[in-house]
Amino acid sequence: MGFPRRAYYVAAAIVGLIVLFWDAIGNLWERWGGQQELSHSYFIPIISAWLVWTNRDAIRRSVGEPSLIGLAAVIVGGLFLFLGHNLIHIYLIQHIGLVIAIAGLVAGFGGISLLRATAAPVGFLFFAVPPPFWLITVLSWKFQTASSILGVWMIQLMDIPVFLSGNVIDLGNYKLQVAEACSGLRYLFPFLSLGVMTAYLYRGPLWQKLVIVLSTFPITIFMNSFRIAVTGALVQAYGPQHAEGALHFFEGWVVFVLCMLALFAVVAAFSFFSKPRRSAWEALGAPDLKPVPPSRGRLKLPVMAGGIIGALAAFFVLSQTLTTDLLIIPERKTFVSIPAEFPELSYQTKPMSAAVAEVLGADDTIVVTFSAPDGQYFNLYMAYLDSQRDGRSWHSPRQCIPGGGWRITSHDIEKTTTSSGAPMTYNRLIIKNGDARQLVYYWYDQRGRKVANEFTMKIWLIIDAIFKNRSDGAIVRLITPVSNEQGVEAADAYLRDIMTEMEAFIPDYIPE
């Protein structure tokens, strides 16, 4: 089994892998360039390649006999591709399949010994996989909230009058919006990758490596809050132009450098208290990888190469021949008819701007406020997708609400049943803006299921796409004010009555 011969087989398999995952690779490239929090991902494959090159001698001596585990991993990667591309149209599944298939090529042509030797650079490729949009939404909301609270506290330490309303920092003559772009995620994802790489290069016990990785979260929040506080101080002293434009961008880069220095300080602290004491630079360095004894097997290289290339070709043919959209898009009534379902109420619809509609990516939406003769009113928002693919999904109200100046004071998951006895969970929020309070109910109405949790919703999405050939669904949100005289109990009773009334007609608009 000469190396040149093996190289030809490997090259052919790599070409086959690229062809099979071409669409997924293109989406990776687009996501990396289109989302600022993912722009660092271009360097992940380069860093992985550098790790391989740094330990090339040990890796070369770890090459063993072909392993069936490698072929199995390639097949699993192909199944992920078929699942993500042809059935549920979720790129995340395809991206994970790509990394699994790469691991399969390593084990298939170099044995388990080679996969063990390259575990770190291959595993690091997972950091190039964009997280799902719903996770970004949830993390963004949490980071916005934490950064706003801590940032206001820092501003107050400077003796600057400031008031926090949701994610809006009121400086009196100027209101500073802690928007999604300022949540800190643009630091967290690259900084987390940097933290993992730093832990890998750190020569110390495992628990210290774990602390290094986990420290990236509080460092990111603290430094982003510091950035917000500095921006607020500059706005107060020199005007609102310091919250926008080049200076705002420059502050972002300065904060990232400060994050790196803080991470280096964690490494320096561990190094200072280690025995024997050493400098932080001495504690960091490319690992001295020992060769893994080459694994043995009975498979011949041509047989393994034929199996891998054949599997890649089979999945390519399968993915191309089943190009017909397998998903069922059921017939339904459009939301424009919703006001007619409440004939006893007056209503006012709110047109959605083109920019907001583009961000939501929904196929049908409605925002309408219904008013009763006795003065009670509620706001209804519904967004429907005939299929959830290519990253299209809903923005969680937990992210949107604070951006409007409202603060979430209470969040519960309520469990109940519909009139037909089906289980239902929904989010119950109490939000506050100054002295005003509102009660919010929202849930994800998914092919007959009404669920509150985004993760649960995604699990059912995958299951239903496979077994029901459907991925349609909607989000439903209800809001009503909380009267100081009647209290939250009256608002709860009012929205529960609305929910009960909607059960009669909502399947016409959101098919079960």
Tokens of 199: 């832990």
Contacts of 294 (CB under 8 A, 6+ apart): 61, 62, 63, 64, 65, 111, 113
What is the Cα–Cα distance from 352 to 367, expressed in whole angstroms? 8
Query: Is omega for the bond preceding 293 within 30 degrees of 0, making it cis?
Result: no
What is the Cα–Cα distance from 68 to 305, expressed in whole angstroms? 11
pLDDT score of 323: 53
Neighbours of 324 (CB within 10 A): 7
Length of the chain: 512
Residue 479 pLDDT greater than 70, yes or no = yes
Closest CA to 427 of 406, 405, 456: 456
Q: Quick check: 76 and 308 in contact, CB under 8 A? A: no
pLDDT score of 477: 92
What is the Cα–Cα distance from 204 to 69, expressed in whole angstroms? 32
DSSP H helix total and E strand total for the chain: 19, 11
Q: Quick check: 416 and 407 in contact, CB under 8 A? A: no
- pLDDT tier, 399 (very low <50, low <70, confident <90, very high otherwise): low
Closest CA to 479 of 379, 338, 400: 379
Whole-model pTM: value is 0.75
Q: At what angle do helices 245-272 and 185-201 cross, to 10 degrees?
A: 30
- pLDDT tier, 226 (very low <50, low <70, confident <90, very high otherwise): confident
Residue 55 pLDDT greater than 90, yes or no = no
pLDDT score of 36: 74
SS3 498: helix
What is the Cα–Cα distance from 510 to 469, expressed in whole angstroms? 16
Residue 79 pLDDT greater than 60, yes or no = yes
Q: Find where tokens 């190009």 sit.
A: 323
Select the more confidently predicted residue: 15 or 394. Answer: 15
Neighbours of 80 (CB within 10 A): 23
pLDDT score of 478: 93
Query: What is the rounded (10 degree) CA torsion for 82, 83, 86, 91?
Result: -100
Q: Quick check: 127 and 48 in contact, CB under 8 A? A: no
Burial state string for 254-289 with b = 16 or more CB within 10 A and e = fewer than 16 = ebbebbbebbeebbbebbeeeeeeeebeebbeeeeb
Mean pLDDT of the chain: 82
Residue 186 pLDDT greater than 90, yes or no = no
Residue 180 identity (one-letter amino acid): E
Residue 228 pLDDT greater than 50, yes or no = yes
Q: Quick check: 60 and 7 in contact, CB under 8 A? A: no
Question: Kindly report the CA angle at 137 between 84 and 165, in degrees rounded to 5?
Answer: 170
Closest CA to 200 of 283, 141, 293, 144: 283
What's the rounded mean pLDDT across residues 336-364?
Answer: 76
Select the more confidently predicted residue: 82 or 389. Answer: 82
DSSP code, position 62 = T
Residue 333 pLDDT greater than 60, yes or no = yes
SS3 58: helix
Residue 166 pLDDT greater than 70, yes or no = no
Q: Find where tokens 């209290």 sit.
A: 487
- pLDDT tier, 320 (very low <50, low <70, confident <90, very high otherwise): confident
pLDDT digits (tens, 9 = 90+) for 248-263: 555 567 777 888 888 8
Q: Poorest-confidence range of 178-192, 381-395, 442-456?
A: 178-192
What's the rounded mean pLDDT across residues 486-490?
Answer: 87
Select the more confidently predicted residue: 392 or 47. Answer: 47
pLDDT score of 71: 92
Residue 170 pLDDT greater than 80, yes or no = no
Helix ranges restricted to H, 118-176:
119-124, 133-157
pLDDT score of 217: 86
Q: Quick check: 471 and 375 in contact, CB under 8 A? A: no
